[in-house]
């Protein structure tokens, strides 16, 4: 397939999403390297927009190719899968924000003197959290372990901080800030 023909066939909304994602990524990289302490989340948001759009296009084109979906409804299917993707992203981020381990990690960051020295007074945290969170049961009982990369917004600077959080059987949280 000719790339220019493929790009011309793309819906205008997808082109706008891809362009917006590219601009957000470029701004985010620029903001972190200067540093501009405003909207560092733009890189993450841009990657989500571009990856989501490419993923939706690939899924729809694959399902059309194997004749599960009709090519006549290509634009409608893309819209449907974009909505599903947005719901998934919001759902995953909501799970992070509802977890006690993330709250414990943020509280540890707020009282950490080294981080406060680097960023100044902590104004808040980024709204996109990356990381993993796992729960289960082993011979010691129920456990929770999580690793988060959290954007810390301070009066002097912004900084990404990685925090490991864990506990067994509702004991106090064991928290380690692994990168500053």
Query: How confident is the model over 129-162, as pLDDT tens digits?
Result: 888 888 888 888 899 999 999 999 999 999 999 9
Residue 153 tokens, joined: 């917004």
Please provide the average confidence, as pLDDT, over all residues in the chain.
88
pLDDT value of residue 1: 57
The phi-psi region of residue 131 (left if phi > 0; otherwise alpha if psi is between -120 and 50; otherwise beta) is left
Distance CA 77, CA 96 (A): 29
Residue 32 tokens, joined: 């972190």
Length of the chain: 180
Q: What share of the chain in percent tops pLDDT 90? A: 39
Distance CA 105, CA 164 (A): 8
DSSP 8-state assignment for residue 73: G
Query: How confident is the model over 68-101, as pLDDT tens digits?
Result: 988 888 878 888 888 999 899 888 888 888 888 9
Among 93, 84, 89, 82, residue whose Cα is nearest residue 54: 82
48/4: higher pLDDT: 48
Radius of gyration for the chain, computed over Cα atoms and rounded to the nearest angstrom? 21
Which ranges constitute the DSSP H helices of the chain? 3-9, 12-33, 42-65, 74-97, 100-111, 113-119
pLDDT band at residue 17 under the 50/70/90 scheme? confident
pLDDT value of residue 40: 85
Query: How confident is the model over 40-76, as pLDDT tens digits?
Result: 888 888 999 899 888 888 898 899 889 898 888 887 8
pLDDT value of residue 140: 82
Residue 177 near residue 148, CB atoms below 8 Å: no
Going from N- to C-terminal start, the domains of the chain cover 3-97, 100-179
Does the structure show a pLDDT above 90 at 6?
no
pLDDT value of residue 125: 94
**Chain centroid, CA 163 distance in Å:** 16
User: CA–CA distance from 30 to each of 26, 34, 104, 162 (Å)?
Assistant: 6, 6, 31, 22
């Amino acid at each position: 397939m000719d790339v220019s023909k493929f790009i011309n066939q793309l819906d205008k909304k997808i082109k706008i999403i891809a362009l917006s994602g590219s601009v957000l990524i470029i701004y985010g990289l620029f903001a972190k390297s200067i540093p501009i302490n405003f909207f560092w989340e733009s890189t993450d948001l841009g990657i989500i927009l571009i990856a989501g759009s490419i993923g939706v296009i690939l899924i729809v084109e694959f399902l059309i190719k194997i004749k599960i979906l009709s090519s006549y409804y290509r634009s409608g299917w893309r819209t449907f899968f974009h909505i599903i993707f947005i719901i998934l992203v919001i759902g995953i981020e909501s799970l992070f924000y509802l977890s006690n381990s993330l709250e414990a990690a943020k509280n540890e960051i707020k009282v950490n003197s080294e981080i406060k020295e680097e960023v100044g007074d902590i104004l808040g945290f980024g709204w996109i959290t990356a990381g993993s969170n796992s729960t289960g049961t082993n011979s010691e009982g129920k456990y929770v372990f999580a690793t988060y990369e959290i954007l810390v917004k301070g009066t002097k600077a912004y900084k990404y901080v990685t925090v490991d959080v864990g506990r067994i059987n509702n004991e106090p949280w064991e928290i380690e800030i692994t990168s500053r």
